[in-house]
Amino acid sequence: MKKFVIEKGLVLPLDRANVDTDFIIPKQFLKSIKRSGFGVNLFDEHRYLDKGEPDSDNSQRPINPDFVLNLPRYQGCNILLARDNFGCGSSREHAPWALDDYGFRAIIAPSYADIFFNNCFKNGLLPIVMDRDVVDKLFHEVAETEGYQLEIDLQQQLIRKPDGSTLEFSVDGFRKHCLLNGLDDIGLTLEDADDIRAFEENWQQRAPWYFTPAQNHVNPNNQ
Protein backbone atom coordinates (compact mmCIF):
# COMPACT_ATOMS: atom_id res chain seq x y z
CA MET A 1 0.00 0.00 0.00
CA LYS A 2 1.27 3.48 -0.87
CA LYS A 3 2.30 5.75 1.98
CA PHE A 4 0.33 8.94 2.54
CA VAL A 5 2.39 11.73 4.10
CA ILE A 6 1.86 14.98 2.19
CA GLU A 7 -0.25 15.14 -0.95
CA LYS A 8 -0.73 18.25 -3.06
CA GLY A 9 -2.93 18.35 -6.09
CA LEU A 10 -5.84 19.49 -8.18
CA VAL A 11 -9.31 19.26 -6.63
CA LEU A 12 -12.25 17.64 -8.45
CA PRO A 13 -15.67 18.91 -7.26
CA LEU A 14 -18.33 16.19 -7.43
CA ASP A 15 -21.34 18.27 -6.43
CA ARG A 16 -23.79 15.49 -5.65
CA ALA A 17 -24.98 14.01 -2.35
CA ASN A 18 -25.52 10.29 -1.68
CA VAL A 19 -23.06 9.07 -4.29
CA ASP A 20 -23.29 5.30 -3.93
CA THR A 21 -20.72 2.66 -4.75
CA ASP A 22 -22.54 1.68 -7.94
CA PHE A 23 -22.10 5.28 -9.12
CA ILE A 24 -18.41 5.00 -8.28
CA ILE A 25 -17.87 1.63 -10.02
CA PRO A 26 -20.88 -0.14 -11.63
CA LYS A 27 -21.66 -3.74 -10.75
CA GLN A 28 -20.58 -5.27 -14.08
CA PHE A 29 -16.95 -4.44 -13.30
CA LEU A 30 -16.81 -6.38 -10.01
CA LYS A 31 -15.60 -9.66 -11.52
CA SER A 32 -11.89 -9.04 -10.84
CA ILE A 33 -10.19 -8.92 -7.45
CA LYS A 34 -6.81 -7.68 -8.71
CA ARG A 35 -7.29 -4.19 -7.17
CA SER A 36 -6.00 -2.62 -10.38
CA GLY A 37 -7.43 -1.68 -13.75
CA PHE A 38 -10.61 -0.12 -12.37
CA GLY A 39 -9.62 3.51 -12.88
CA VAL A 40 -10.81 3.64 -16.49
CA ASN A 41 -14.29 2.67 -15.31
CA LEU A 42 -14.52 5.08 -12.37
CA PHE A 43 -17.93 6.85 -12.51
CA ASP A 44 -18.49 4.83 -15.70
CA GLU A 45 -22.21 5.43 -16.20
CA HIS A 46 -21.74 9.21 -16.08
CA ARG A 47 -18.28 9.42 -17.61
CA TYR A 48 -19.22 7.73 -20.90
CA LEU A 49 -22.25 8.01 -23.16
CA ASP A 50 -22.60 4.26 -23.77
CA LYS A 51 -22.90 1.27 -21.45
CA GLY A 52 -19.55 -0.03 -20.35
CA GLU A 53 -18.70 -3.71 -20.29
CA PRO A 54 -15.71 -5.55 -18.79
CA ASP A 55 -12.70 -5.83 -21.11
CA SER A 56 -14.07 -3.25 -23.55
CA ASP A 57 -11.71 -0.77 -25.21
CA ASN A 58 -12.48 2.35 -23.20
CA SER A 59 -10.33 4.51 -25.48
CA GLN A 60 -12.92 4.00 -28.23
CA ARG A 61 -15.98 4.83 -26.13
CA PRO A 62 -17.84 8.16 -26.47
CA ILE A 63 -17.03 10.54 -23.62
CA ASN A 64 -19.69 12.57 -21.81
CA PRO A 65 -18.33 16.11 -22.28
CA ASP A 66 -20.54 17.51 -19.51
CA PHE A 67 -19.39 15.20 -16.72
CA VAL A 68 -17.01 16.95 -14.34
CA LEU A 69 -14.28 14.29 -14.53
CA ASN A 70 -13.99 14.90 -18.28
CA LEU A 71 -13.66 18.68 -18.15
CA PRO A 72 -10.20 19.87 -19.28
CA ARG A 73 -9.68 22.00 -16.18
CA TYR A 74 -9.84 18.94 -13.90
CA GLN A 75 -7.49 16.60 -15.75
CA GLY A 76 -4.83 15.21 -13.43
CA CYS A 77 -6.90 15.70 -10.26
CA ASN A 78 -6.00 13.65 -7.19
CA ILE A 79 -8.20 15.16 -4.45
CA LEU A 80 -11.96 14.58 -4.57
CA LEU A 81 -14.39 17.08 -3.04
CA ALA A 82 -17.78 15.47 -2.37
CA ARG A 83 -21.07 15.94 -0.58
CA ASP A 84 -22.92 14.12 2.22
CA ASN A 85 -23.05 10.33 2.56
CA PHE A 86 -20.36 9.61 -0.01
CA GLY A 87 -19.85 5.91 -0.72
CA CYS A 88 -23.27 4.70 0.42
CA GLY A 89 -24.93 1.59 -1.00
CA SER A 90 -23.29 -1.83 -1.28
CA SER A 91 -20.05 -2.57 0.55
CA ARG A 92 -17.95 -3.31 -2.56
CA GLU A 93 -14.25 -2.70 -1.95
CA HIS A 94 -13.90 -2.06 -5.67
CA ALA A 95 -15.08 1.52 -5.04
CA PRO A 96 -11.90 2.67 -3.26
CA TRP A 97 -9.87 0.48 -5.66
CA ALA A 98 -11.30 2.44 -8.60
CA LEU A 99 -10.67 5.82 -6.97
CA ASP A 100 -7.12 4.85 -6.09
CA ASP A 101 -6.41 3.35 -9.51
CA TYR A 102 -7.58 6.55 -11.20
CA GLY A 103 -5.15 8.56 -9.07
CA PHE A 104 -7.14 9.97 -6.15
CA ARG A 105 -5.32 10.04 -2.83
CA ALA A 106 -7.83 11.87 -0.63
CA ILE A 107 -11.53 12.68 -0.37
CA ILE A 108 -13.09 15.63 1.47
CA ALA A 109 -16.78 15.38 2.38
CA PRO A 110 -19.16 16.15 5.27
CA SER A 111 -19.97 12.46 5.81
CA TYR A 112 -19.37 8.96 4.44
CA ALA A 113 -21.00 5.56 4.56
CA ASP A 114 -19.26 3.60 7.34
CA ILE A 115 -18.09 0.59 5.32
CA PHE A 116 -16.75 2.74 2.48
CA PHE A 117 -15.00 4.98 5.03
CA ASN A 118 -13.21 1.99 6.56
CA ASN A 119 -12.34 0.51 3.16
CA CYS A 120 -10.64 3.75 2.12
CA PHE A 121 -8.11 3.53 4.93
CA LYS A 122 -7.39 -0.11 4.14
CA ASN A 123 -6.56 0.83 0.54
CA GLY A 124 -4.40 3.91 0.99
CA LEU A 125 -7.08 6.59 0.57
CA LEU A 126 -7.56 9.34 3.14
CA PRO A 127 -11.26 10.22 3.68
CA ILE A 128 -11.42 13.57 5.48
CA VAL A 129 -14.56 14.70 7.29
CA MET A 130 -15.21 18.45 7.15
CA ASP A 131 -18.14 20.56 8.36
CA ARG A 132 -20.75 21.14 5.70
CA ASP A 133 -20.15 24.91 5.72
CA VAL A 134 -16.44 24.39 5.10
CA VAL A 135 -17.17 21.99 2.23
CA ASP A 136 -19.62 24.52 0.73
CA LYS A 137 -16.92 27.18 0.78
CA LEU A 138 -14.41 24.82 -0.85
CA PHE A 139 -16.89 24.06 -3.64
CA HIS A 140 -17.28 27.80 -4.24
CA GLU A 141 -13.51 28.39 -4.29
CA VAL A 142 -12.88 25.48 -6.67
CA ALA A 143 -15.57 26.76 -9.06
CA GLU A 144 -14.16 30.29 -9.00
CA THR A 145 -10.49 29.34 -9.45
CA GLU A 146 -9.29 27.16 -12.30
CA GLY A 147 -6.36 25.01 -11.26
CA TYR A 148 -7.42 25.12 -7.59
CA GLN A 149 -5.09 22.94 -5.50
CA LEU A 150 -4.91 21.83 -1.90
CA GLU A 151 -2.03 20.39 0.10
CA ILE A 152 -2.95 17.72 2.64
CA ASP A 153 -0.46 17.09 5.44
CA LEU A 154 -1.45 13.93 7.28
CA GLN A 155 1.31 14.17 9.90
CA GLN A 156 0.17 17.66 10.94
CA GLN A 157 -3.50 16.92 10.12
CA LEU A 158 -3.76 20.11 8.11
CA ILE A 159 -5.15 21.14 4.74
CA ARG A 160 -3.26 24.10 3.24
CA LYS A 161 -5.26 26.29 0.88
CA PRO A 162 -3.89 28.43 -1.99
CA ASP A 163 -4.25 31.63 0.07
CA GLY A 164 -2.00 30.22 2.80
CA SER A 165 -4.77 29.53 5.30
CA THR A 166 -5.17 26.08 6.83
CA LEU A 167 -7.95 23.73 7.84
CA GLU A 168 -7.53 21.20 10.62
CA PHE A 169 -8.98 17.70 10.37
CA SER A 170 -9.24 14.71 12.69
CA VAL A 171 -8.12 11.17 12.01
CA ASP A 172 -7.94 8.07 14.18
CA GLY A 173 -4.40 7.53 15.47
CA PHE A 174 -4.16 3.89 14.38
CA ARG A 175 -5.43 4.66 10.88
CA LYS A 176 -3.04 7.59 10.65
CA HIS A 177 -0.13 5.30 11.57
CA CYS A 178 -1.14 2.82 8.86
CA LEU A 179 -1.41 5.47 6.13
CA LEU A 180 1.83 7.21 7.07
CA ASN A 181 3.66 3.89 6.88
CA GLY A 182 1.78 2.34 3.97
CA LEU A 183 0.46 -0.55 6.04
CA ASP A 184 -2.57 -2.56 4.99
CA ASP A 185 -3.79 -5.60 6.98
CA ILE A 186 -1.04 -7.80 5.53
CA GLY A 187 1.60 -5.16 6.22
CA LEU A 188 0.44 -4.88 9.82
CA THR A 189 0.76 -8.64 10.26
CA LEU A 190 4.27 -8.63 8.77
CA GLU A 191 5.34 -6.06 11.37
CA ASP A 192 5.11 -8.95 13.85
CA ALA A 193 6.80 -11.47 11.55
CA ASP A 194 9.68 -12.12 13.96
CA ASP A 195 7.31 -12.81 16.87
CA ILE A 196 5.16 -15.07 14.67
CA ARG A 197 8.22 -17.00 13.52
CA ALA A 198 9.48 -17.38 17.10
CA PHE A 199 6.08 -18.67 18.23
CA GLU A 200 5.98 -21.23 15.42
CA GLU A 201 9.49 -22.46 16.21
CA ASN A 202 8.64 -22.77 19.90
CA TRP A 203 5.38 -24.57 19.16
CA GLN A 204 7.15 -26.98 16.81
CA GLN A 205 9.51 -27.95 19.64
CA ARG A 206 6.66 -28.39 22.13
CA ALA A 207 4.33 -30.30 19.80
CA PRO A 208 6.36 -31.80 16.96
CA TRP A 209 3.56 -34.26 16.04
CA TYR A 210 1.59 -31.33 14.57
CA PHE A 211 4.32 -30.80 11.99
CA THR A 212 4.65 -34.37 10.68
CA PRO A 213 2.56 -36.11 7.98
CA ALA A 214 -0.80 -37.35 9.26
CA GLN A 215 0.09 -41.03 8.90
CA ASN A 216 3.12 -40.54 11.17
CA HIS A 217 1.32 -38.70 13.98
CA VAL A 218 2.19 -39.96 17.43
CA ASN A 219 0.71 -37.92 20.24
CA PRO A 220 2.67 -38.71 23.45
CA ASN A 221 -0.48 -38.05 25.48
CA ASN A 222 -2.14 -41.07 23.82
CA GLN A 223 0.76 -43.52 24.25
Q: Residue 97: which CATH number?
A: 3.20.19.10
Q: Domain count for the chain, please give it.
A: 2
Which pTM value belongs to this model?
Answer: 0.85
Q: Average model confidence (pLDDT) for the chain?
A: 91
Note whether residue 13 is domain-resident: yes
Domain co-membership, 72 together with 106: yes
The whole-angstrom separation of Cα 141 and Cα 186 is 40
Note whether residue 197 is domain-resident: yes
Domain co-membership, 114 together with 65: yes
Nearest to residue 49, comparing CAs of 65, 68, 28, 38? Answer: 65
Domain co-membership, 118 together with 197: no
Say whether pLDDT at 113 is over 80: yes
Domain co-membership, 169 together with 206: no
Count the neighbouring beta carbons within 10 Å of the beta carbon of residue 133: 9
Note whether residue 1 is domain-resident: no
Task: Summarize pLDDT for 144-154 with one digit per residue, the tens.
Answer: 999 999 999 99
Mean pLDDT score, 178-191: 76
Domain co-membership, 75 together with 49: yes
Task: Summarize pLDDT for 21-56 with one digit per residue, the tens.
Answer: 999 999 999 988 888 899 999 999 999 999 999 988
Domain co-membership, 121 together with 97: yes
Question: Which string of b and e fits 37-69 if b means at least 16 CB within 10 Å?
Answer: ebbbbbbbbbbbeeebeeeeeeeebeebeebbb
Share of the chain above pLDDT 70, in %: 90
Note whether residue 34 is domain-resident: yes
Give me the amino acid identity at 220. Answer: P
Note whether residue 207 is domain-resident: yes
Say whether pLDDT at 124 is over 90: yes
Work out the pLDDT band at 77, boundaries 50, 70, 90. Answer: very high
Which range of residues forms the domain containing residue 63?
A: 6-183
Say whether pLDDT at 217 is over 70: no
Mean pLDDT score, 165-175: 97
User: What pLDDT sits at residue 187?
Assistant: 60
Which residues neighbour 117 within 8 Å (Cβ) at sequence distance 6 or greater?
Answer: 87, 127
Domain co-membership, 62 together with 125: yes
Q: Helices marked H in the chain — which ranges?
A: 21-24, 44-47, 94-102, 114-122, 132-144, 173-181, 185-190, 193-206
User: What pLDDT sits at residue 192?
Assistant: 55
User: What pLDDT sits at residue 221?
Assistant: 57
Mean pLDDT score, 155-177: 97
User: What pLDDT sits at residue 167?
Assistant: 98
Domain co-membership, 125 together with 179: yes
Domain co-membership, 100 together with 198: no
3-class secondary-structure state, position 51:
coil
Say whether pLDDT at 199 is over 80: no
Domain co-membership, 118 together with 207: no
Q: What are residue 129's DSSP bridge partners?
A: 109
Note whether residue 87 is domain-resident: yes
User: What pLDDT sits at residue 200?
Assistant: 74
Note whether residue 188 is domain-resident: no
Domain co-membership, 86 together with 160: yes
